[in-house]
Structures are given as structure tokens and as C-alpha cells.
Structure 1
Amino acid sequence: MTKDNSGSSEVKATTLYPTYIVTNIQTKIRTLDGSKVTYSSWKNLFRLHVKAYKVLDHIDEILAPVETDPGYLQWMEIDALVLYWIYNTLSDELMVHILENDITAQTAWNKLKTIFLNNKGLRAAALEQEFSNITLGACSSMESYCKKLKDLADQLGDVENPVPESRLVLQMVRGFPPEFDVVGAYINQSSPSWEIACSML
């Protein structure tokens, strides 16, 4: 608290960077494991989060300040927090692949990208085969069938082989047993969105 010449009191403003108030990142971003939570969905949510907390520059291709820069120490502190966010939203299996001493958040971010986009042709072929062959009979319920199809489509998107919504709906119908012929024919005829097609079941 300070006083001006007139004797009135003023509160001295202190600046707290938004990243310091995040206490548990896992309540905001789900753990990336590559199957239940896909890389693309995790990446999009993580980018949204760091943008909201004004630290997008720590994962984008922006050069870190030099050590002689007055803001260097604070930048490094914030970078360590963003790196902590990355580590704490990864499965144990993924974390060991990128965990290193003295790396920046951007380096970890890029290593993670490489893991998911490396050998994307082989991964896309394996995922495509699984996506094309899945049937309702192989799943425990209609809900798990729809979820599995959507998860596989999202994983194909991760390896730059996106599945159009129309194909996702057609594949769902294709995996139905004969007793679903009527509803399957209706879905094919009406060409609904994925969400509507699922709700029709």
C-alpha cells in the first residue's frame, strides 16, 4: 500500500502471469495415450489452453530469448511450467520417450509430434484395415461400436489420413448385422451427420 501527496491510499499493482495459477492441468486436459485420447484432440485442446494462458509462444516455432535478455529468467520459469503441463498430460509410455533434462517445452512438443507422425504410412495402413473391418458384432454394445469407429477415424486423422464424416456413417452401416438392414437402409438414404446417425440407433 502506498500514499500519494494528497494522503490517499493506493494499492500497488502486482502482475501475476496467468500460468502460475494453474494448479492441476489434468482437470483441464485429458491424458494423451494415442487411443482413448488421440493426438489431434489432445493437441487442439492443449493449444487452446496455452493460448488462453498467453503462452502459445512456448510451443510455436518462436526463438527463446537470449540469456542476456532482462526477461530471460521469467521466460524460462514459464517454459518449465508449460513443459510440466505437457509431461503431466501424457501416458507413462509416451512420457518416457520425450523426458529429457534441460529441454524446452517447444522441443518436447516437436518430439511428440514426430512420434505420432513418424511412419505415418504404415500406421495409416494398419488403422485403415482395422477401421474397414470393424463390425457391431465384434463390440459389446452399439455405444462401444460407435465410439470405436470414431476413435479409429480420429487416429487416422492424426496420421494425416482424415476420414470424411460421410464415410464414417457408411462404415457404421456396413458393419451392421442383417437385423439392422432396415435402419441401415434408412441411414444410407437420408445421409445424416455422424451425430444424428448415432442418435437414430
Structure 2
Amino acid sequence: MADQNKLPIAQPINHIIHSVPIKLEIETSQYNSWAELFKIHCRAHDLIEHLTSETPTQSAASSKATPISDELWKRQDAIVLQWIYATISQDLLHTILEKDMTAKKTWDRLRSIFHDNEGSRAVALEQRFTNIKLENFPNVSAYCQAVKMLADQMNNVGLNVTDKRMVL
């Protein structure tokens, strides 16, 4: 019988940046894209529950061959925390870092930072999008990339930017 306190080899990978290539920053408003990639990574390593629960739930324990020990849960939670910290900016890290945080508390705190400010972010992004000018960029490609990035950020805060509007 395998030791339930041993972590499977795939779980403590150090290369999360390959799975979550977006560095979450306050300025870029890429939270929804970052969060989706992060959840996919956690699901792939069977650690998604750490984003929704402080402790192993009964349903998760019953779906596994043997219930997970508190020690293993804490070790897995620390891995998920390391993944979060590795994929966010230093400014965000300093904003959310506290003693004895769990992955769920950290996840919830990040979500609130980005979703609680959606209204003000939407207004600021709308203004930037409306006032973007080709003359401020070295070439058309850089301009188009900036317009696309702003449109993606606006979509992330609930402002639907159609292709027609981007062209106009």
C-alpha cells in the first residue's frame, strides 16, 4: 500500500509558468484568463479542491481510494500557494501575502481584488480604448496588438467589444 503522505511526482512541478504563461498584474486586467489557466493546471494535478475549500470535503474524500490526511492536505495546499505566488506580480504578492494563508483564502482575495473593482476598471479601460491613436505606436502591428489587448481586458471586466468596434 502506498504511503498516503507521499506526493505524486507530478504535483510539485516547478514549471507552472509553462502552464500559466500569464503573469497576473493589477494593471493588465487579465484575471479571467489567468484564473482559467490556473484552474486547468490545478485540475490536471487533482488539486482544484484547494481553490474551493479550506479542508478536504467529504465528497472529495469519498471519491478517492483512501481519505486524504490533514498533513498531505497542508502540503498540497502549500504547493498550490507556491503556484499562485509564482504566477502573480510582485505588487500583487505584497498585497495579498499574509501569515498562515491557505490557497482558498489567497484565491478568494485575488478574485475580490479584480472583481470588486470591475466598475472602475471598466471606465478606465473604456477611456483608454476610445482614446488610443495609431500615431502613438511605432507601427500598425504594435497598434493592433494594443487594441486587441485593451479589448481582451475590457471583455474580462464585462464590456463586450465586438470585432466591428475594434475595426472602427
Same fold? TM cut 0.5? yes
Identical pairs, percent: 37
Provide the residue aligned with 2:63 in structure 1. none
Q: Which amino acid aligns with 1:127?
A: L
Offset of residue 83 of structure 1: 0.6
Q: How many residues align?
A: 155
Q: Deviations over 1:48-76 (max 9, x none)?
A: 1111111111113x35138xx76211011
User: Post-superposition, which runs of at least 4 consecutive aligned residues in structure 1 deviate over 6 A?
Assistant: 12-15
Please show how residues 161-180 of structure 1 align to structure 2 within 5 Å. Answer: 161-170=159-168
Given candidates 31, 51, 54, the residue that maps to 2:43 is 51
Q: Distance in 1 between matches of 2:146 and 2:103?
A: 32
Offset of residue 144 of structure 1: 1.2
Q: Which amino acid aligns with 2:156?
A: D
Please show how residues 21-36 of structure 1 align to structure 2 within 5 Å. Answer: 22-30=13-21, 31-35=23-27
Q: Would you say the 8 A contact 1:32–1:90 is kept in 2?
A: yes
Q: 1:166 to 1:59 in 2, by over 3 A?
A: farther
Q: Relative to structure 2, which stretch is displaced further, 161-170 or 111-120?
A: 161-170
Given candidates 97, 100, 103, the residue that maps to 1:102 is 100
Q: Distance in 2 between matches of 1:163 and 1:26?
A: 28
Provide the residue aligned with 1:196 in structure 2. none
Q: Relative to structure 2, which stretch is displaced further, 117-126 or 50-59?
A: 117-126
Q: Deviations over 1:69-91 (max 9, x none)?
A: 76211011001100110011111
Highest RCO, 1 vs 2 (Cα 8 Å, sep ≥ 6) = 2
**DSSP 3-state at the match of 2:138:** coil
Offset of residue 161 of structure 1: 2.0
Q: Would you say the 8 A contact 1:32–1:42 is kept in 2?
A: yes
Q: Would you say the 8 A contact 1:33–1:91 is kept in 2?
A: yes
Q: 1:70 to 1:123 in 2, by over 3 A?
A: closer
Provide the residue aligned with 2:124 in structure 1. 126
**DSSP 3-state at the match of 1:124:** helix
Q: Relative to structure 2, which stretch is displaced further, 151-160 or 34-43?
A: 34-43
Q: Relative to structure 2, which stretch is displaced further, 142-151 or 27-36?
A: 27-36
Q: Distance in 2 between matches of 1:52 and 1:165?
A: 33
Offset of residue 132 of structure 1: 1.2
Please show how residues 1-16 of structure 1 align to structure 2 within 5 Å. Answer: 16=7
Provide the residue aligned with 2:135 in structure 1. 137
Q: 1:54 to 1:165 in 2, by over 3 A?
A: farther
Query: What is the TM-score with the length of structure 2 in the denominator?
Result: 0.81
Offset of residue 147 of structure 1: 1.2
Provide the residue aligned with 2:110 in structure 1. 112
Q: Distance in 2 between matches of 1:35 and 1:139?
A: 19
Structure 1: segments with no counterpart, 5+ residues: 1-11, 171-201
Structure 2: segments with no counterpart, 5+ residues: 58-66
Q: Which amino acid aligns with 2:128?
A: E
Q: Distance in 1 between matches of 2:71 and 2:11?
A: 15
Provide the residue aligned with 1:89 in structure 2. 87
Q: Would you say the 8 A contact 1:34–1:155 is kept in 2?
A: no
Query: What is the TM-score with the length of structure 1 in the denominator?
Result: 0.68
